[in-house]
Structure 1
Amino acid sequence: MASDEGSAVSWRGWDELEASAWVRAPRADDDKYTRGVLGVVTGSASYPGAAVLGVEAAVRAGAGMVRYLGDERPSDLVLSARPEAVTKPGRVQAWLIGSGTDAAERDDAARKRIEHALGDGVPLVLDAGALDLAPRAPAATVLTPHAGELTTLLAAFGVRTDRASVRVDPASSAQRAADLSGCVVLLKGRITHVAAPSSMAAPSDVPVAARVEAPTSWAATAGSGDVLGGIVGALVAAQSEAVLEEPARLVAIAATGAWVHARAAELAADGGPVPALDIARAVPRIIARLLG
């Protein structure tokens, strides 16, 4: 492991071998519930496509079921794209919240859905419009900001910075956000940094900080982060019980999600531009590669 930029933390480079240990094929006795049910509260009237992209990615990343709770328009779009999605409340093993939403536009119905998810006692993946929930989130939570969102997250804890400063030293920025929030932080970028809070105990087989370098920057496109959220959410749901016992496992799981996302983007792009939906569609081939 090597030190990354100005950070005092040792960062483990996350590669195919590392990632392969954090995905599994269904066992003979598995059903849709034991494979992991992901609850999804994403999308809005303004950004309904985020719901479709996250659900699509979660299904293709191996979720046994996706349970989507949202407004009428994104719900209709989700069912049109993925008719196997369930749009009624019920048990889940993890929640993905926030992609394609704005905390400033949160209405009573959205608040009710979020309160249910926060109180459900399962791991959380908080993205975009749900990052304001970080101070209330349990330890078994992954935050998935990009550089701009990280500046807002840090400001909520009294730290003033800007996007340029985060980009100069993403490792220290991610670690600081993890320490302040008490959550695992996945800072998105061409090099993605995933850090656990310094106070979080980690088992010997789990890094406290991981770094995932993408082979291409074509994934820097609208909706790509929504796809990443769905991948990470599905992987977390599949290992929910282990995460609740040892939240630091989220570092390895989130880093694996970032690795899958980066390689799916490379495969789908084939050397040229790639839309976010095509990244999601390439995910099963990357999962199969890890399992092989």
Structure 2
Amino acid sequence: MTTLFSAVEAAGAIAVPSADSDKYSRGVLGVVTGSERYPGAAVLGVEAASRTGVGMIRYLGPERPAAMVLARRPEAVTADGRVQAWLLGSGTDPERDDDERARLVGLLDQALPTVLDAGSLDLFAQAKGPTVLTPHFGELVPVLSAVGVETSKQAVAADPATWAARAAAETGATVLLKGATTVIADASGVRFLVRAGQPWLATAGSGDVLGGVLGALLATHQPALAERPELLAELAAAAAWLHGEAGRTASGGGPIQALDVAEALPAVIRRLLVGA
């Protein structure tokens, strides 16, 4: 059954720390995003994750994006170590060398909850843990082609719910198909529609922010995901709702940029928790 996701459901996805919480129990997100060509994607994703409530972020991407991440978020850690979830691919190119591919496949072998975005969408078949794919219409086409299903960006745009459900069924992943109405589908079909947000959100880097929000939610809910796999679609929908509402808050009816959306997240979450 398809549900229009609401603020009440979004509030339930926020992991509120207790007096006994520490940075590890609050969730550690591993991030491999950004590139020499698109370093800002790393900054935006880390910024969004840090403002969604994760306990620690390990950024393990290239040198130039890493320097930019640390300049913006000095609390980020650039050393390898324990994580509860991965965010991979934002601002990267799928045309990677063999060493980088082997490295990413090694991370996926850990079977942790994972967000595959942009340049890592092609790795869905190697993912061992609960996985969310976050394509836009054009990016869904090669994902489907990889499993023998041919379509076009125009066809996906004309019927996103059908194609999101098809992609989820064929790949075994949860699919968050970005658009004016975001569609979340898993093996059971289309689970949620999210209509939060407004047209000013159609700006460069907006999807990188969404990836960071979703990565943080997966990291903070890793133990629960092991017990309730269906929670993955709920967290994907919550991320889309938070992203959209942060865009609305940041905009106030006027133009915004992606970093504005990330910076608005704490206020949105605070209002949700007060309301809950």
TM-score bin (small chain): over 0.9
Aligned to 1:60: 51
- What does residue range 200-219 of structure 1 map to in structure 2 within 5 Å? 209-219=191-201
Contact 1:232 1:257 in 2 (8 A): yes
1:231 aligns with 2:213: yes
Distance 1:248 1:25 in 2: 21
Deviation at 1:256, TM superposition (A): 0.3
- What does residue range 162-241 of structure 1 map to in structure 2 within 5 Å? 162-198=152-188, 209-241=191-223
* Cα shift readout 1:4-63 (whole Å, capped 9, x = no counterpart): xxxxxx310001011111113111111001111000000011111000000000000111
Contact 1:14 1:211 in 2 (8 A): yes
- What does residue range 118-197 of structure 1 map to in structure 2 within 5 Å? 118-197=108-187
Q: Which consecutive unaligned segments of at least 5 residues does structure 1 have?
A: 1-9, 200-207
Contact 1:69 1:113 in 2 (8 A): no
* Cα shift readout 1:226-280 (whole Å, capped 9, x = no counterpart): 0000000001100001112322211000100000000000011110110000100
Read off the aligned partner of 1:154 and give its amino acid letter.
Answer: L
Q: Which moved more, 1:189-198 or 1:52-61?
A: 189-198
Deviation at 1:64, TM superposition (A): 0.3
Aligned to 1:74: 65
- The verdict on how the C-alpha distance between 1:86 and 1:113 changes in structure 2, with shifts beyond 3 A counting, is farther
CA RMSD across the alignment: 1.3
Q: Which consecutive unaligned segments of at least 5 residues does structure 2 have?
A: none
After TM superposition, the score normalised by the length of structure 1 is 0.91
Distance 1:171 1:139 in 2: 24
* Cα shift readout 1:78-109 (whole Å, capped 9, x = no counterpart): 101100000010000000000000111x1355
- The verdict on how the C-alpha distance between 1:71 and 1:112 changes in structure 2, with shifts beyond 3 A counting, is farther
- What does residue range 100-111 of structure 1 map to in structure 2 within 5 Å? 100-104=91-95, 106-108=96-98, 110-111=100-101
Aligned to 1:253: 235
Read off the aligned partner of 1:185 and give its amino acid letter.
Answer: V
- The verdict on how the C-alpha distance between 1:18 and 1:49 changes in structure 2, with shifts beyond 3 A counting, is same
Contact 1:190 1:217 in 2 (8 A): yes
The one of 238, 241, 244 equivalent to 2:226 is 244
Number of paired residues?
274
Distance 1:158 1:124 in 2: 24
Q: Identity of paired residues, percent?
A: 55
Read off the aligned partner of 1:91 and give its amino acid letter.
Answer: R
Distance 1:30 1:93 in 2: 15
The one of 8, 17, 30 equivalent to 1:39 is 30
Partner SS state of residue 218, structure 1: helix
Read off the aligned partner of 1:115 and give its amino acid letter.
Answer: V
